[in-house]
A = this chain, B = another copy of it.
Amino acid sequence: MRLTLYTDYSIRVLVFLTARTDGLSSIAEVSETYGISKNHLMKVVQKLGQAGLVTTVRGRSGGIKLARPANEISVGEVVRLTEDGFELVDCGSCIIAKACGIRGILKEATQAFLAVLDSYTFGDLPKSELNILDVLASFPDVRQKTVACVGGPDAL
């Protein structure tokens, strides 16, 4: 069982922006940090923006930031937004779908899954043992590149 790469990247962007409490970030910076292509991230940020999760500040000193406080963005909200759906198996093509009862069981399990994700917000994350920006700082090469990118021509 996997979530889509799209969900994965969306969560990573929001984790990064949650950790960066002191200003704007750039897509280039997020790209360098995680080793994810800027093109992919631009699509992800665009959708997160449309959903009211990320705000874009345009211009030379622009960048991106969370549109709402991190403790108002639940992990469940993001996963619901970015997954294609939660029909775990394709019952539509199955002639016994009405009778077999598996669909109801899978639905109940999925609801339990999402209930846990709904109970956590991105504001809960910095309570973990380490601070994400401390981890980033322990990778000098990445850190140097990312700092250089902030607010630069590649800001968006």
Chain A contact residues: helix, strand, loop or mixed: helix
**Residues on B with beta carbons closer than 8 Å to the beta carbon of A12:** 94
Distance between Cα atoms of A116 and B106 in the complex (Å): 8
Closest to A33 in B: B95
Determine if A1 and B83 form an interchain contact, defined as CB atoms under 8 angstroms apart.
yes
Q: How many copies altogether?
A: 2
Distance between Cα atoms of A79 and B102 in the complex (Å): 12
Determine if B95 and A34 form an interchain contact, defined as CB atoms under 8 angstroms apart.
yes
Is A108 close to B, CB under 8 A? Answer: yes
A window 105-153: CB within 8 A of B: 105-106, 108-110, 112-117, 120, 124-125, 127-132, 134-136, 139, 142
**Interface of A toward B, CB cutoff 8 Å:** 1-4, 7-8, 11-12, 15, 33-35, 75, 79, 83, 85-90, 93-96, 98-102, 104-106, 108-110, 112-117, 120, 124-125, 127-132, 134-136, 139, 142
